[in-house]
């Protein structure tokens, strides 16, 4: 059993039953306890962002329905365990960065292996680094959200091309 309050860190083994996105998974232990896990030290493109779907597919290929070792440090604000995930000898967090599907999340991690993996992936133009100006997910999340008014697609663009009546 996993006691979350006592030590504030730990390791357990479980099976990945779902992949929510490129950096969040669900792991179920042999005693049927379910945990939402946020891969520590990395941040992947959001779902609607370029490469978001590819990041999710890449993580799924690595972990879905597989036995993983979860080495967690703490709970985040969404009650997910922040953790490093390994499958056999593969450190999944690092592999996601090395393959260009994730950023090293420098605001929350000073891990030098993740930093080096990002430098290498970027210089080799792997994954999201193949695009000209990839936008970091933490920047993407802060962008102004489009309004949810249901209008015809493209109408706004056409209107913005018309001269402004107020000069």
Q: Measured between alpha carbons, how far is 27 from 37 in angstroms, rounded to an integer?
A: 7
Contacts of 28 (CB under 8 A, 6+ apart): 14, 15, 17, 34, 35
Q: How is residue 84 written in tokens?
A: 């490093």
Q: Which of the following is catalytic: 46, 125, 141, 157?
A: 46
Q: Which of the following is catalytic: 40, 48, 80, 141?
A: 80
The residue assigned the tokens 């056999």 is: 88
For β-strands 67-75 and 10-21, DSSP reports them as: antiparallel
For this structure, is 38 an active site residue?
Answer: yes
For this structure, is 122 an active site residue?
Answer: no
DSSP string, 52-77: HHHHHHHHHHHHTTSEEEEEEEEE-T
For this structure, is 48 an active site residue?
Answer: no
Q: Measured between alpha carbons, how far is 82 from 26 in angstroms, rounded to an integer?
A: 12
Q: Which of the following is catalytic: 38, 141, 143, 157?
A: 38
Residues labelled as active-site residues: 38, 46, 80
């Amino acid at each position: 059993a996993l006691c979350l309050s006592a030590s504030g860190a730990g390791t357990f083994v479980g099976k990945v039953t779902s992949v929510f996105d490129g950096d969040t998974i669900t792991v179920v232990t042999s005693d049927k306890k379910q945990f939402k896990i946020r891969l520590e030290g990395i941040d992947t493109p959001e779902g609607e962002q370029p490469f978001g779907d590819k990041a999710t597919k890449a993580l799924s290929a690595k972990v879905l329905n597989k036995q993983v070792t979860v080495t967690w440090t703490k709970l985040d604000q969404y009650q997910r365990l922040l953790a490093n995930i390994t499958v056999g000898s593969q450190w999944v967090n690092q592999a996601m960065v090395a393959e260009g599907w994730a950023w090293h999340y420098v605001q929350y991690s000073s891990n030098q292996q993740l930093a080096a993996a990002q430098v290498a992936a970027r210089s080799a133009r792997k994954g999201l680094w193949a695009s000209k100006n990839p936008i970091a997910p933490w920047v993407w999340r802060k962008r102004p959200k489009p309004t949810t008014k249901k209008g015809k697609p493209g109408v706004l663009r056409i209107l913005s091309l018309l001269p402004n009546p107020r000069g």
